[in-house]
Amino acid sequence: MDLTVEEAAAELNKGFQTLEILQKDPAVPVWFIYLNRPAQRNALSLPFFSELPRALALLDRIPSARALVLSARGPHFCSGIDLSSLKSISSSSEDDRAAAAEELRRRILDLQSAITALERCRKPVVAAIQGACIGGGVDLVAACDIRCCEDKAYFAVKEVDVGLVADLGTLQRLPKIVGFGNAMDLALTGRKVSAGEAKAMGLVSRVFADPAKMDEGIFALAKELAAKPALALMGTKAVMMKSRDMAVEKGLDYVATWNAGMLRSRELEEAVLAKLQKRKPNFSKM
């Protein structure tokens, strides 16, 4: 997708079926992506899985988007994958079990890829979670960079209860976030995790008193991120993602190689200068 900034903005303006995407304040380089099917408790339908990666690719192009917030309309963040979308998958080509299996495998890989787009996006993505975050919702937020929730939010890796092995990333990402023991417990029992327990095990890094407070707090946090040196922010995310699956020693070599070419002395100087002059530093866009 090799679009100009203007073309990307125009594409974004056309709107989405399952998402609402907006920049709340034109002066603030923060964009919001809302899951926007509140009547279905934001169940993840097939169109969602093609719209999310497209939206992220467009936002990646736009300089006014320096931090992203993934949020949801309605009282609940996400009730999981839309079972009707699974239906259409499993019913296809039942005449040949093996060919159907091969097709199912590719479809799952496609769905996974839509979630992984959150990690591939160069810009930081903050998840703001209210109400229920169930099944596929957990897969979704596990791929975000920072997770916050309000006090009444709760989480459940519910797949096992409808006869599914969770296949959109929870079983891979959750153990690295909350530890292997907690992750196994959640995935086998499907039990509810409250906001407080989620904070204690590292699933979220902040809990807000209520959704309104969360909106405020998240906007402030995203604004703060958006004001940081963009290249350093992007580099930090990319290096952490790459280092996650590498031996420590290989990760060290990787970041040395990264910084060899992408250390931006100009921003280092601006940071030092701003401190001396007791003013806010002024960093370049991406």
Burial class (CB in 10 A: 0-12, 13-18, 19+), 74: middle
Is residue 77 within 8 A of residue 109, CB to CB? The reply is no
Q: In the chain, which ranges are E strands?
A: 19-22, 30-35, 67-72, 125-129, 132-134, 146-150, 154-156, 193-194, 206-208
Choosing from 21, 33, 62, 81, the catalytic residue is 81
- Classify strands 132-134 and 154-156 as parallel, antiparallel or unpaired: parallel
Q: Which of residues 91-110 bind a second copy (CB under 8 A)?
A: 96-99, 101-102, 104-105, 108-109
Alpha-carbon distance values, 279 to 229, 264, 270, 275, 276 (Å): 15, 20, 10, 6, 8
Q: Which of residues 242-261 bind a second copy (CB under 8 A)?
A: 242-261
Alpha-carbon distance values, 188 to 156, 171, 217 (Å): 11, 10, 33
217 is a catalytic site residue: no
Our finding on whether 171 is near a second copy (CB under 8 A) is yes
Identity of the residue, 23 or 112, whose beta carbon is nearer to a second copy in the bound complex: 112
Q: Residue holding tokens 């707090």?
A: 217
How far is 239 from 261, CA to CA, in rounded Å?
Answer: 13
Our finding on whether 152 is near a second copy (CB under 8 A) is no
181 is a catalytic site residue: no
User: Contacting a second copy (CB under 8 A), which of 177, 194, 217, 223?
Assistant: 177
Identity of the residue, 20 or 28, whose beta carbon is nearer to a second copy in the bound complex: 28
139 is a catalytic site residue: yes
- Classify strands 193-194 and 154-156 as parallel, antiparallel or unpaired: antiparallel
Binding characters for a second copy, 50-89, by CB under 8 A (x = yes): x--------------------------------x--x---
Q: Which stretch binds a second copy (CB under 8 A): 70-78, 130-138, 161-169, 207-215?
A: 161-169
136 is a catalytic site residue: yes
Our finding on whether 265 is near a second copy (CB under 8 A) is yes
Choosing from 82, 119, 145, 159, the catalytic residue is 159
Our finding on whether 279 is near a second copy (CB under 8 A) is no
Q: How far is the CB of 227 from a second copy (least distance, A)?
A: 10
Identity of the residue, 17 or 284, whose beta carbon is nearer to a second copy in the bound complex: 284
Catalytic positions, written as ranges: 81, 136, 139, 159, 167
